[in-house]
Chains A and B, each alone.
Chain A
Amino acid sequence: MQGRGHDARGRCIDFGHGPPNPMTKAIRQHLIDPEICIRCYTCEDACPIDAITHDDNNVVVDAGKCDYTMDCIAPCPTGAIDNWRFVTEAYSVEEQLSWDELPEQEDLGDDESTLGEAIEDDIGALIATAHAGTGGRPVAPASASNPSINLFSRAHPAVATVQGAYRITEEDAGSDVRHIILGFGETSFPVLEGQSVGIVPPGTREDGRPHDIRLYSVASARDGEKRNGNNIALTVKREDKGLCSNYLCDLQRGDKVNVTGPFGSTFLMPNDPNCHVIMICTGTGSAPFRAFTERRRRAMPGADGKLVLYFGARSPGELPYFGPLKKVPPELLEQHLVYSRLPNAPKEYVQDRMRKHADDLSELLCSEQTHIFICGLKGMESGVDEALADICRAHALAWGEIKPTMREQGRYHVETY
């Protein structure tokens, strides 16, 4: 399973719609910036539950009615709509109508990101784990699109229909990885490459409580697995006794699945075609990079930026998408498939292969256009990190300085699970 999720990112933080943390009792209130709003009332028309109202002065959201449907976010032409404050007591409609500007975030005595990751326990825990390897606060690439987040929750999931499900590792390989296509029909479920979705397994645990939500990276481009098909693809490895993975891997065409999300607002595909993107993965960590590659193929053919993939598996038979990858042209994607269990060959891991390409990689590391994404099993980031440090040392570069700079500029991303 890929435990990944969203993170705190300035004013666009989303902490899900679960119950507030009893420790802090903070609620996340949706506000409209009166200094930016042009009073076009588009949001008011878009809100399906009439939570938005206005007078001659302001357009405001009624905290008592807002159910975070997020229908108002995309149609706003100004961005005034996308403002949030953590409050212990909601600002009233009357109070908001009188504002000339937004109030500052009140000091709740908690680090913002800690507060964020704790509010929804199940997803929060996954996020904390998945992003830990970044080594600091992750930042979205500068040219990434603005993601939609948390449009669907456990209480209000999107219901998807399985449109296809098939195995993408060899039948006799030890690892059973499946490619699962979920269609959303008439429901809009916008995702960006790099985002995840939550899967709600049916049924309850022995103690009667619902199962935990599992997060999976989307393996398809933003415009669908099939272009404009309003569908997404997931890459799922069957885990021994894995409740959700077995549920997903056993799905048949036509089955219905409850989906939450989308989640994730930093591990995102840069839109700038001049960006160099180095993608390092193992196993189902390849899912977001399949999406990245497809996005670039569709939207940025002939892009100047390089797309480089280091992909590790035990053998070709266990490498997800081995067949389709062979057909991807080298002009689009520079591929380095690395195997650790080939007969009559020494074990090789992605970091070993990267060291062999030290000249090329060190050159890329000097470019401000270069983004690094690491996705796969927990722990792989340390091997990759050491390799990058070695490469830098050999070329008179300081990885200890480059890495934090890249991270702060939204160019270094780790999601491991």
Chain B
Amino acid sequence: MSNLNVNYDTSIPNNVGLADDKRVLKALEQWHPGYLDWWKTMGPDGFQESMVYLRTAVSVDPKGWAQFGYVKMPEYRWGVLLAPKEEGRTIAFGNHKGESAWQEVPGEYRAMLRRLIVIQGDTEPASVEQQRHLGATAPSLYDMRNLFQVNVEEARHLWAMVYLLQKYFGKDGREESAELLRRRSGDMDKPRMLGAFNEATPDWLSFFMFTYFTDRDGKMQLESLAQSGFDPLSRTCRFMLTEEAHHMFVGESGISRVVQRTCEKMNEAGITDPYDIEAVRALGVVDLPTIQKKANLHYSLSLDLFGSEISTNAANAFSAGLKGRYNETKIDDDHVLTDSTYPVLKLVDGKPTLVDEPALTAINMRLRDDYSADAGKGVERWNKVIAKAGVDFKLELPHVAFHRAIGEFGGINATPDGAVVDDATWKQHRDEWLPSKADGDYIASLMIPCHRKGEYADWIAAPRVPIDNKPGDFEFVQIAA
């Protein structure tokens, strides 16, 4: 059988020849029961017996990797799928530039590589845990199905990272794989490794914001790891990116539909002032200023995931050839960066100012800039929806100094415009810039489930094109199946 096709003959679907790799197959089969326990206790709350219209990868070939059909989530075929191997691939950056890509772990970088894989792996189950209660309040069966699709694919990404750990890191890898199932999002004693992955996802607007802003950090990280000189990691991440695109879609289209519904209801009611929050909320939709505040929150939390602007760890991973930049091969420079600089936003005389820093230590900053540009494009498309409805309002991304806990702006208070302010001013205006408790309560009050096929909660518009060309009244989840 071609290695483009998933091997379902063994208990773990894969295109990495597991059947012939008894050691790794056994290790994964031993890990599997613990994984299923994790899914049952920390995966979606309820709906485990429901038939969900999900896509499953049966091949990494463009024509075969998205097969749609009804499946019960615990019976989803989580597999290990790597993008096809490029013969003769060389390392594109760092000190090993031009050398053949590694098929085995380079000994001198073993610890660093393991750490990169574990951090990536830790985010995958974390988001499933964060979103586990959302099924109960889904605004439609379509949205519920999208949530579960995101969940099963994040879980598959955990599989992908665990495969690398088990295959290439021996006993250490087995222990790390077990730890990935032990940590819990938001747990005081055993938290997930990164801050944003310990925040709750209490409602669907948060979920859409999370998939738009936070999963986009995941996309950027995967894009950089897809450049890795360690070929199995590169191939793993390349295939994960094709799935990650769906998560971006859920976020972008989700927020777009919320914005659209708000504008529609405002127009129907003849409300022209988007800041007349009371009047807009009386319509049972989320007012645009609150959507802005939610964006402020999730964007700033996600920026923290990029770490410090100046980072020797990031420099080392780059020089080692383990983690590149976004679109590394398309960048026109020497890809070694020993002599070049990159403009980094720093706090100078109390003001955010661009300062040239060695490009090598500014790797995180560059990735974060790429992220901001990418995130900004979706905001423009939401604004087109608002403009089309004739409402006078524009969403925008806050300044990168706003509401930060990590890096150059971690210790200061800044407004969404980037002006540095004192504690008192921050406290006074905080609720104008970030969702208040009352905002959260209002959003929570809208979270009434709508689980009848073809119907949507009143605060969100129906999608223009549901998934897989299905009609809008398609039963995306058969709850009582």
Q: Using CB atoms and an 8 Å cutoff, list the residues of chain A in contact with chain B.
A: 12, 33, 35-36, 38-40, 42, 46, 56, 70-75, 77-80, 82, 100, 142-143, 145-146, 148, 151, 185-186, 188-190, 222-223, 227-230, 271-274, 299-300
**What is the CA–CA distance of A155 and B246 in the complex, to the nearest angstrom?**
33
Bound together, the chains give a CA A417 to CA B241 distance in angstroms of 45
Residues of A within 8 A of B63 (CB): 70-71, 73-74, 148, 151, 188-190
Tell me whether B70 and A300 are in contact (CB under 8 A): yes
B51 and A188: CB pair below 8 A? Answer: no
- Report chain A residues within 8 Å CB of B65: 74-75
Q: Which of B440-481 contact A (CB under 8 A)?
A: 464-471, 473-475, 478, 481
Complex CA gap A12/B465 in Å reads 13
Residue with the highest number of chain B CB atoms closer than 10 Å, among A38, A73, A186, A272: A38
Residue from B5, B252, B377, B468 in contact with A228 in the complex, judged by beta carbons closer than 8 Å? B5
Known contacts being A12-B469, A70-B63, A78-B253, is A36 close to B464, with CB within 8 Å?
A: yes
A145 & B468 in contact (Cβ 8 Å cutoff): yes
* Given A40-B249, A271-B53, A273-B478; 4 other pairs, CB 8 A cutoff: A142-B470, A186-B4, A222-B67, A271-B69
Given contacts A38-B245, A42-B245, A228-B9, contact A82 B62 (CB under 8 A): no
With beta carbons under 8 angstroms apart, the residue of A73, A77, A148 that contacts B248 is A77
Q: What is the bound-complex CA distance between A307 and B51, given in angstroms?
A: 19
* Residues from chain A with Cβ under 8 Å of B245 in the complex: 38, 40, 42, 75, 77
> Nearest B residue to A48 by beta-carbon distance?
B62
B274 on the A face (CB < 8 A): no
Q: Are A42 and B2 in contact, CB atoms less than 8 angstroms apart?
A: no
List chain A residues, Cβ under 8 A from B53.
Answer: 271
Q: Does B384 contact A (CB under 8 A)?
A: yes
Question: Does B61 touch A at the CB level, under 8 Å?
Answer: yes
Interface assignment of B6: CB less than 8 Å from any CB of chain A: yes
Residue in contact with A72 in the complex, picked from B62, B67, B467, CB distance below 8 Å = B62
Within 8 A of A (CB), among B34-88: 51, 53, 58-59, 61-70
Answer yes or no: B8 CB below 8 A from chain A CBs: yes
Which among B58, B245, B470 has the highest number of chain A CB atoms within 10 Å?
A: B245
> Are A38 and B62 neighbours in the complex by a CB distance under 8 Å?
no
B242 at the interface (CB under 8 A from A): yes
6 shortest interchain CB distances as A-B pairs:
A77-B246, A40-B245, A186-B2, A188-B63, A71-B62, A188-B64
A100 to B64, CA, bound (A): 31
Within 8 A of A (CB), among B78-112: none
Residues of B within 8 A of A100 (CB): 384
- Give chain A residues whose Cβ lies under 8 Å from the Cβ of B384: 100
Judge whether B378 is part of the interface by a CB distance below 8 angstroms: yes
Q: Is the CB of B252 within 8 A of A38?
A: yes
Whether A78 and B475, one on each chain, are in contact in the complex, defined by CB atoms closer than 8 angstroms, is no
**Contacting residues of chain B (3-46) with chain A, CB-CB under 8 angstroms:** 4-9
A/B interface sample: 21 pairs, CB < 8 A: A33-B465, A38-B252, A39-B377, A40-B245, A40-B248, A42-B245, A70-B63, A71-B63, A73-B63, A74-B64, A77-B245, A100-B384, A145-B69, A146-B469, A188-B64, A228-B1, A229-B1, A273-B51, A273-B70, A273-B478, A273-B481
Question: Are B469 and A143 closer than 8 Å at their CB atoms?
Answer: no
**A42 in contact with B249 (CB, 8 Å):** no
A222–B56 CA distance with the chains assembled, in angstroms: 13
A300 to B68, CA, bound (A): 14
Tell me the bound Cα distance from A208 to B242 in angstroms: 46
Residues of A within 8 A of B2 (CB): 185-186, 230
**What's the least CB distance linking B151 to chain A, in Å?**
15
What separation, in Å, do the CA atoms of A79 and B8 have in the docked complex?
A: 28
**CA gap between A229 and B6 in the complex, in Å:** 10
Determine the chain B residues whose CB is within 8 A of the CB of A189 once the complex forms.
63
B138: min CB distance to chain A, Å: 19
Instruction: Give the complex CA separation of A297 and B269 in angstroms.
Output: 53
Q: Which residues of B contact A145 (CB under 8 A)?
A: 67-69, 468
- For A70, what are the chain B residues with a Cβ–Cβ distance below 8 Å? 63
Most buried by B among A100, A188, A223: A188
- A40 contacts across to B, CB distance below 8 A: 245, 248-249
Alpha-carbon gap, A229 to B1, bound state (A): 8
Instruction: Indicate whether A82 sits within 8 Å of B4 (C-beta atoms), given known contacts A40-B248, A75-B242, A151-B63.
Output: no
A272 contacts across to B, CB distance below 8 A = 70, 475, 478
Q: What residues on B are CB-neighbors of A46 within 8 Å? A: 62
Chain A residues with Cβ under 8 A from B9's Cβ? 228
Contact B464 A143 (CB under 8 A): no
Q: How far is the CB of B161 from chain A (nearest CB, A)?
A: 21
Minimum C-beta distance from A186 to chain B (A): 4
Given contacts A148-B63, A223-B58, A273-B481, contact A188 B4 (CB under 8 A): yes
Contact check, B468 vs A146: say whether CB atoms are below 8 A apart.
yes
A228–B68 CB distance below 8 A: no
Chain B proximity of A293: nearest CB distance (Å): 16
Q: Tell me if A74 and B248 are in contact (CB < 8 A).
A: no
B467: contacting residue among A12, A74, A79, A271, CB under 8 A: A79
Contact present for B475 and A143 (CB under 8 Å)? yes
Evaluate contact between B471 and A75: CB separation under 8 angstroms: no
Q: Which residues of B contact A143 (CB under 8 A)?
A: 474-475
CB of B407, distance to nearest CB on chain A (Å): 27
Cβ contacts under 8 Å, B253 to chain A? 36, 38, 78
Question: Across the interface, which residues of A come within 8 angstroms of B249, CB to CB?
Answer: 38, 40, 77-78
CA distance A35 to B378 in the complex (A): 11
Give residues 244-302 of B contacting A (CB, 8 Å): 245-246, 248-249, 252-253
A271 contacts which chain B residues (CB < 8 A)? 53, 68-70
Min C-beta distance of A380 to chain B, whole Å: 30
